[in-house]
């Protein structure tokens, strides 16, 4: 049996090695664009979410943005005992992360008994903010565009996606659910 020289074997093997296959990524799995440097206020907001949740991924930051908008709409300060928050969610990470974001924004919590988690299916994810004093409430849910864009973000991209959510317009992120009359 005749042996091939090492250089011939190397050339033959190199020709057999294909470039790694790339799997096309759906729009929901695209890497978010690199956000610019965060302002001190944005860093503080992301830190508030991370303090409560352990990180500032897109779904937790969405809950934060909803909570901030609700406080403005309801005319309540952060930490108000007049606020009741009800988060409708399946027992699945990403959807449930929104409750921690709402806590970071509003100060509502399970321990203060002004945050309630209600079991719901993924299409029914929504958060209701209720002012006990005025009787006024507002319910927000993620937009279809948000769900598609931020579904199942890989763990290593969560922080970048959270930063992006902090800067996007509200109407891209969430919408108000009309109340039944």
* Tens digits of residue pLDDT in 40-76: 898 999 999 999 999 999 999 999 999 999 999 999 9
Parallel, antiparallel, or unpaired for β 174-176 and 83-89? unpaired
Its pTM stands at 0.79
> Would you say residue 134 has pLDDT above 90?
yes
pLDDT, position 179: 76
Q: Is pLDDT larger for residue 3 or for residue 135? A: 135
Question: Domains of the chain (ranges plus CATH)?
Answer: 39-175 (3.30.1330.130)
91-120 residue pLDDT tens: 999 999 999 999 999 999 999 999 999 999
Distance CA(123)–CA(4), nearest Å, equals 63
H helical segments located in 85-138: 97-106
Q: Sort strands 137-142 and 174-176 into parallel, antiparallel or unpaired.
A: antiparallel
């Amino acid at each position: 049996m005749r042996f091939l020289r090492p250089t011939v074997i190397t050339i033959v093997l190199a020709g057999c090695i294909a470039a790694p296959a790339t799997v096309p990524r759906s729009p929901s799995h695209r890497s978010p664009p690199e956000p610019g440097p965060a302002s001190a206020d944005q860093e503080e907001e992301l830190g508030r979410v991370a303090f409560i949740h352990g990180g500032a991924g897109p779904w937790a930051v969405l809950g934060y943005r909803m909570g901030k908008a609700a406080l403005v709409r309801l005319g309540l300060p952060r930490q108000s005992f007049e606020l009741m928050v009800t988060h409708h969610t399946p027992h699945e990470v990403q959807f449930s992360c929104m409750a921690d974001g709402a806590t970071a924004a509003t100060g509502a919590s399970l321990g203060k008994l002004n945050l309630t988690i209600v079991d719901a299916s993924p299409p029914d994810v929504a958060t209701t903010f209720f002012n006990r004093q005025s009787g006024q409430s507002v319910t927000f849910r993620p937009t279809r565009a948000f769900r598609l864009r931020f579904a199942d973000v890989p763990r290593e991209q969560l922080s970048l996606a959270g930063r992006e959510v902090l800067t996007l317009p509200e109407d891209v992120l969430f919408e108000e659910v009309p109340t039944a009359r």
